[in-house]
Amino acid sequence: MRTKRAFVLLLMTLLVPGSAQIVAGDRKLGRIALRVTFSVWALVVLAALLLIVNRTLLIGILANQAASLFIVVLLVALALGWAALFVNTLRLIRPVLLAPGMRPVVVVSLVLAMVISSGTLGYAAYLLNVGRNAIGSIFSAGPAIDPVDGRYNFLMMGGDAGADRTGRRPDSLSVLSVDASSGKTAIISVPRNLQNARFSDDSPMRKIYPDGYNCGDECLINAINTEVTDKHKDLYPGVEDPGARRPSKPSPGPWESRSRPTS
C-alpha cells in the first residue's frame, strides 16, 4: 500500500507539480506550486498560439536580449522549484516505512523523474542562453558598415566543392536588403545562370570583361567566383578568398561592405 502511494505521489509531482503537497503534505506550498504550474501551462499555450498565429513576434521575443534573459532565469527557477518539490515529496513518502527492497526503486524513480523534469528545464535554459550569447556577440558591436540610402545590403552565397569538382560555384545567390531603421528585410534571388553580368566601373574585372561577363555559355554569374579564384587572384593581392569578394577594388572589403551591385 505504501509503495503504491509512493509512486502515485511521484507521478503527481511529475505531471502536476504541487498536487502531491495538496493531497498529502503542506497545502500552502501545494497551492503556491499549483498557481505556478497553471501559470506556466497558460504561457505554454500562449506560446503555441503565437507560433501558429504570429511566429515573427514569438521569434522576436526569444531573440530579444532582455526577454530571453528573463526566460532563462525563469526556466532555472522553475527547474530548482520542481526539484525542491520532488525532495518534499520524498519526505512525504517516508522511505524508511517502505519495504527494504522497494526503497532503492522509489529513490531511483524519483531521481529519474527529477532528470526528466528539472533536467529538461535546465537544459532548455542552457540552450536558450547559448543562443542569447551568440546573438549578443554577433550584434553587440552593431554594423561594421554604414547604410546606403537607409539600407544594408548583403550577398549570401551557397556553394559546394569537393575533390571531384573543379572550383567552387555558388549555386545559390541571394541579396538581403535590410532597412536600417526597422530591420525589415527583403530577399532578392539572383539566378545562378544569369549571363552578361556587368562589373562596376572600379572593378579590376572590368578591364577583362568591359562588356560584361560574356565569354559564352560558360560565363554564368555563378562561375565568377571560380574564375576570379583560379585565374585572377593577382587582381586582389592579400585577399584570402578573392572569389567571395565583390569583384571591385581590392581595398574596400567583402561584398557586403559595398552597396553597388556587379550587374
Give per-residue pLDDT as tens, 169-209. Answer: 777 888 889 888 877 889 999 888 888 888 888 888 888 88
What tens digit of pLDDT does each residue of 13-63 get? 999 999 999 998 889 999 999 999 999 999 999 999 999 998 888 888 888
User: What local confidence, expressed as pLDDT, does residue 31 receive?
Assistant: 94
Per-residue pLDDT band at 245 (split at 50, 70, 90): low
> Do both 100 and 212 map to the same domain?
no
On whether residue 144 sits in a domain, the answer given is: no
Q: Which domain holds residue 241?
A: 151-257
User: What local confidence, expressed as pLDDT, does residue 197 receive?
Assistant: 86
pLDDT higher than threshold 60 for residue 11: yes
Domain end among 114, 139, 164: 139
Q: How many domains does the chain have?
A: 2
> Do both 14 and 132 map to the same domain?
yes
> Do both 132 and 219 map to the same domain?
no
On whether residue 119 sits in a domain, the answer given is: yes
> Do both 125 and 155 map to the same domain?
no
On whether residue 146 sits in a domain, the answer given is: no
Q: Are 75 and 125 spatial neighbours (Cβ–Cβ below 8 Å)?
A: yes
> Do both 179 and 234 map to the same domain?
yes
> Do both 159 and 102 map to the same domain?
no
> Do both 97 and 120 map to the same domain?
yes
Domain end among 139, 172, 203: 139
**What value does the mean pLDDT take over residues 154-166?**
75
On whether residue 201 sits in a domain, the answer given is: yes
Q: Give the Å distances, CA to CA, from 44 to 63, 84, 117, 247.
A: 17, 22, 15, 49
User: What local confidence, expressed as pLDDT, does residue 166 receive?
Assistant: 65
> Do both 76 and 192 map to the same domain?
no
What tens digit of pLDDT does each residue of 74-127 get? 999 999 999 999 999 999 998 888 888 899 999 999 999 999 999 999 999 999
On whether residue 82 sits in a domain, the answer given is: yes
> Do both 72 and 30 map to the same domain?
yes
